[in-house]
Amino acid sequence: MPVCDHQLSLQIDSQLSNTTLVAMAVRGVCAMTTLSPVEINRLELCLVEIVNNAIEHAYGNEPGHPVEVCIGLDKTTMNISVSDWGASIPGNVIKDQEPEEINPDHPESWLCSGRGLHIVNKLMDTVDYDTTEEGKNIFTMSKALRH
Amino acid sequence: MAFEIREEGQFTVVLVDETRLDASIAESFKTYLFDQIESGKNQLLVDLSQVRFMDSSGLGALVAGLKKSAGSGSFALASAQPAVKDLFDLTSMDKLFTMHNSVADAIQGD
């Protein structure tokens, strides 16, 4: 994560009900920026999607594991990282894959899941994912701020 | 209780009495919708007026309800708030759902 003027680190237990805590924290930091209400809602959505992924997929919905969120803020950019120590996301999943075109006439094509990463790829300026030798999975994303 | 139903006009209105329709309640919401459909309620209108935030899991539960009712009834949404509308727009799911400005509009056929 880049060095930022302001940095906030949080850790939650791997339970879906805890995503609200980090969502409110990112909203608080966003209030210090020039981001519009729509952009703040979208940043919250992206953070929640990635934290959900860590809890549901890295830890298989098992409580008792750490999910770490770091929010970095400088004059031009907001950087957010979400880390876990569970199962890594396969490389072919992390790549941006456009969902298939929705056909209103074919209910079998209406997907009930799998939109989270696509939403994040679409809304954030940069997205990256890495696993350290120690087994820490770090999802980083950034959003440019208006001057 | 997070979800409540009431009969209004031709609809069974399902009120989501939560400000966040997210992954922590999406599965129980889906189960609730399925229970309504399986008990014969075939004109469902989901009232989203209280929901200020929805993630892709909440959206997935609505899609599951729509799929479940496909061919045997109607499944519409009412009173989606700005952040919720934005999610539907971002994911192009606004093409799939009938969305009304309010429950009253839905009952009047607007």
Residue A60 belongs to domain with CATH number: 3.30.565.10
ipTM (interface pTM): 0.93
Q: Within a domain: residue A1? A: no
CB contact under 8 Å between B96 and A104, yes or no, is yes
Task: List average pLDDT for each run of 10 residues in chain A, which is 147 residues long.
Answer: 78 97 95 93 97 96 97 93 94 67 75 86 94 96 88
The answer for residues whose C-beta is within 8 angstroms of residue B91's C-beta and 6 or more apart is A99, A115, A118, A119, B56, B59
Query: Which range of residues forms the domain containing residue B32?
Result: 3-74+87-108
Residue B80: is its pLDDT beyond 70?
yes
Task: Tell me the three state secondary structure of residue B6.
Answer: strand
Q: Structural domain tally of chain B?
A: 1
CB contact under 8 Å between A110 and B87, yes or no, is no
Q: Is the dihedral of CA A50, A52, A57, A60 positive or negative?
A: positive
pLDDT digits (tens, 9 = 90+) for A96-112: 666 666 777 777 777 77
Nearest chain A residue (CA) to B70: A107
The CA distance from A72 to the nearest CA of chain B, in Å, is: 23
Query: Which range of residues forms the domain containing residue A57?
Result: 6-144
Q: Residue ranges of the alpha helices (H) in A34-82?
A: 37-53
Q: Within a domain: residue B14? A: yes
Q: What is the pTM of this model?
A: 0.92
Q: What is the DSSP string of B39-105?
A: TT--EEEEE-TT--EE-HHHHHHHHHHHHHHTTTSEEEEE---HHHHHHHHHTTGGGTSEEESSHHH
pLDDT the model gives residue A99: 65
Q: Within a domain: residue A130? A: yes
Residue B85: is its pLDDT beyond 70?
yes
pLDDT digits (tens, 9 = 90+) for A57-73: 999 999 999 999 999 99
